[in-house]
Amino acid sequence: MIELRTAAEIEQMRPAGAFVASVLTALREKAAVGVNLLELDELAHRMIRDAGATSCYIDYHPSFGAMPFGKVLCTSVNDAVLHGLPFDHVLRDGDLLSVDFAASVDGWVADSALSVVVGTPAPEDLRLIEATEVALERAVAAARVGARLGDIGAAIGGTAREYGFRVNTQFGGHGVGRTMHGDPHVPNDARPGKGMRLRPGLVIAIEPWFMAGTDALRTDADGWTLRSVDGSRGAHSEHTVAVTADGPVVLTAR
């Protein structure tokens, strides 16, 4: 069921968005050569405890997950592109790291993701990250009252093709509110002018993610981490966005 939020409720969601943004900012600053993924997860866990927030991931167990997630971050490295389960891995020079984080503050959820290169960046990795960020910026701009879901998907898919990347449509954005994943599904590729019309009060996570050489995924042995089938690298950008009469509001702006 799609739920529309009042202006007052959107204001109540701002602390969750600000908290998620602050955690991702701290993680981006912490990520460096020699840092273990488990250290990043512990930093986020500590910030959750200090803020009195609640993790949306640690007990999460959807149908596609092998077991409850058990961590508070998704950390996807290089050819891991989504749902990366943090493990005992020390970041190396040139690693492409995507971090996805969602938390609840006072009963409201926000969800966001970013990608960075640790150490010395390869130009092709920076271009891949740029593509997701440009796609996100264009998709947010399309999230206006009277537009349609397909306009958001077209902005993302069109950007991917502009940069020469394919689009996987198995996973995309979603509604956000009292829970992390709700209706509607927000596609990462679609025809403009098609789909549900956007109304004031709709709050969605918009999350373009691209892989450099393929649009196909495989599931890692941990039962969670999704990797490109050809070993090419992936990048991921995401914001929680409220559709309002005054235009889109990025609740997780950093």
Let me know if residue 1 belongs to a domain.
no
pLDDT at 235: 98
Strand 239-244 to strand 203-206: parallel, antiparallel, or no bridges (unpaired)? antiparallel
3-state secondary structure of 110: strand
pLDDT at 64: 80
Binding site members = 83, 100, 111, 174, 181, 207, 238
3-state secondary structure of 4: coil
pLDDT at 137: 98
CATH number at residue 94: 3.90.230.10
- Weakest mean pLDDT among 61-75, 99-113, 203-217: 61-75
Q: How far apart are CA 59 and CA 51, in angstroms?
A: 19
Mean pLDDT of the chain: 97
pLDDT tens across 29-46, in order?
Answer: 999 999 999 999 999 999
pLDDT tens across 125-169, in order?
Answer: 999 999 999 999 999 999 999 999 999 999 999 999 999 999 999
Binding site members for a divalent metal cation = 100, 111, 174, 207, 238
| Residues 7-33: b if buried by 16+ CB within 10 A, e if exposed | eebbeebbbbbbbbbebbeebeeebee
- Structure tokens that stand for 82 in this block: 């989504």
Let me know if residue 106 belongs to a domain.
yes
66 pLDDT exceeds 90?
no
Let me know if residue 215 belongs to a domain.
yes
**Residue 63 pLDDT level (bands cut at 50, 70, 90):** confident
Q: How big, in percent rounded to 5, are the helix, strand and coil portions of the chain?
A: 30, 25, 45
Burial of 102 (0-12, 13-18, 19+ CB in 10 A): buried
With beta carbons less than 8 A apart as the criterion, state whether 110 and 176 touch: yes
- What is the domain count for the chain? 1
The residue segments making up the domain with residue 168 are: 7-250
Residue 220: what are its φ and ψ, rounded to 5°?
-70, 170
Binding site members for substrate = 83, 181
Let me know if residue 111 belongs to a domain.
yes
pLDDT at 129: 98
DSSP symbol at 36: B
Work out the average pLDDT over 224-247: 98
- Write the CB contacts of 75 (distance below 8 Å, at least 6 apart in sequence): 37, 40, 41, 84, 85, 86, 97, 98, 99
pLDDT tens across 93-104, in order?
Answer: 999 999 999 999
pLDDT at 7: 97
Cis bond before residue 121 (omega within 30° of 0): no
Let me know if residue 2 belongs to a domain.
no
Let me know if residue 92 belongs to a domain.
yes
Let me know if residue 155 belongs to a domain.
yes
